Amino acid sequence: MEASIAEQLKRQAATSALEHVQNGMVLGLGTGSTVTHFLDLLGDRLLTGELKDVVGIPTSNRTTGEARQAGIDLIELGDSSRIDLTVDGADEISPDLDLIKGMGGALLREKMVAQSSDRVLIIADESKSVDRLGTLSPLPIEVVDWGIQGHVQFIMNWGGRASVRMMSNGENFKSDNGNLMLDCRFSDGIKEPAQLEAELQARAGVVESGLFLKVADVAILGTDSGPIELGRKS
Ligand code: 5RP
């Protein structure tokens, strides 16, 4: 998909997501280029007074900066007893609204905020829709920087290939939490995501995985023929 078309579809999804935002809401604010559109649009609505008394809980340093720039008031996770709605992007979305997230490096805080939210709304362009997780995007896994080879072998036993995420300057990528990220590629996708997630959650040294299963309630996909809203069935 051409980059400028993808940006238009992301903005379309972000615009549609604003219809779910009401005055007085506490919003979880995800991370990534699609969320950047949402923050920009939300900032405009707050500036014009079309929306009032909305506060956000950012999931990354990047989002903190972008939200401040857009004039959105911020609080921290735990400052409010509830999060009404989280709006976030995704790297892959399955037909059941299971997700791969974390190519933006913020999966730990994104999962923490999503798990504390009454509703989770995912926005994306239609290219993120897949039949099986792991077919287009690697699966990011945040790990402590000791004993990584054990995780690499574990992923190999699952038929995948794990590599430590690097930055363009040749240094290891570090998350906002100071951890490393493993990007795990599976040539035929992930056959049993729930089983893989359970095993990852049981592994010491794994901080969090980018499998977001039964987390999203709604997804809005930007498409050539307009936004499509999908609800989770189970
Ligand atoms: C960050 C994420 C992002 O939501 C995901 O990478 C999608 O990003 P983008 O909207 O730029 O495609 O999980 O950790």
User: Cα-atom radius of gyration of the chain, to the nearest Å?
Assistant: 17
Output the CA–CA distances (angstroms, integers) from residue 63 to 10, 67, 115, in the order listed: 16, 6, 18
Name the residue of 101, 137, 177 whose CB sits within 8 Å of the most ligand 1 atoms, as the mutation to test its pocket: 101
- Tokens 């926005």 map to which residue? 123
Active site residues: 110
Q: Ligand 1 within 6 A of 120 CB? A: no
Q: Ligand 1 within 6 A of 101 CB? A: yes
Q: What are phi and psi of 9, to 5 degrees?
A: -70, -35
> What residue spans in the chain does CATH classification 3.30.70.260 cover?
139-208
Residue 36 CA, closest ligand 1 atom number: 10
Who contacts 171 (Cβ-Cβ below 8 Å, separation ≥6)? none
What share of the chain has pLDDT > 90, as a percent?
A: 98
- Look at residue 27 and tell me whether its pLDDT is greater than 80: yes
Average of per-residue pLDDT across 56-75: 98
pLDDT band at 233 (very low <50, low <70, confident <90, very high): confident
Fold of 139-208: Alpha-Beta Plaits (3.30.70)
Q: Ligand 1 within 6 A of 138 CB? A: no
- Kindly report, residue by residue over 152-171, the tens digit of the pLDDT: 999 999 999 999 999 999 99
Exposure string over 147-182, b if 16+ CB within 10 A, otherwise e = eeeebbebbeebebebeebeeeeeeeeebbeebbbb
Map residue 113 onto helix, strand or coil.
helix
Q: Ligand 1 within 6 A of 37 CB? A: no
- Look at residue 147 and tell me whether its pLDDT is greater than 90: yes
Distance, CA of 58 to chain centre: 12
Who contacts 158 (Cβ-Cβ below 8 Å, separation ≥6)? 186, 190, 196
Q: Ligand 1 within 6 A of 102 CB? A: yes
pLDDT band at 234 (very low <50, low <70, confident <90, very high): confident
Which CATH number among 3.40.50.10860, 3.30.70.260, 2.60.40.420, 3.40.50.1360 corresponds to the domain 3-130+213-231?
Answer: 3.40.50.1360
What share of the chain has pLDDT > 70, as a percent?
A: 100
Q: Ligand 1 within 6 A of 9 CB? A: no
Q: Considering only CA atoms, which residue is closest to atom 5 of ligand 1? A: 90
pLDDT band at 3 (very low <50, low <70, confident <90, very high): confident
The rounded Å distance from CA 120 to ligand 1 centre is 14
Map residue 196 onto helix, strand or coil.
helix
Name the residue of 9, 11, 31 whose CB sits within 8 Å of the most ligand 1 atoms, as the mutation to test its pocket: 31
- Kindly report, residue by residue over 194-230, the tens digit of the pLDDT: 999 999 999 999 999 999 999 999 999 999 999 999 9
Who contacts 97 (Cβ-Cβ below 8 Å, separation ≥6)? 122, 216, 217, 218, 219, 230, 231, 232
Average of per-residue pLDDT across 9-21: 98
> What residue spans in the chain does CATH classification 3.40.50.1360 cover?
3-130+213-231
CA distance 60 to 154: 28
Average of per-residue pLDDT across 88-92: 98
- Mean pLDDT, the chain, rounded, equals 97
Distance, CA of 114 to chain centre: 9
Looking at residue 169, its pLDDT comes to 98
Name the residue of 12, 34, 139 whose CB sits within 8 Å of the most ligand 1 atoms, as the mutation to test its pocket: 34
pLDDT band at 181 (very low <50, low <70, confident <90, very high): very high
Cα torsion angle, 19, 125, 122, 106, sign: negative
Q: 231, 233, 234: which is closest to 20 by C-alpha? A: 231
pTM above 0.95, yes or no: yes
Looking at residue 131, its pLDDT comes to 98
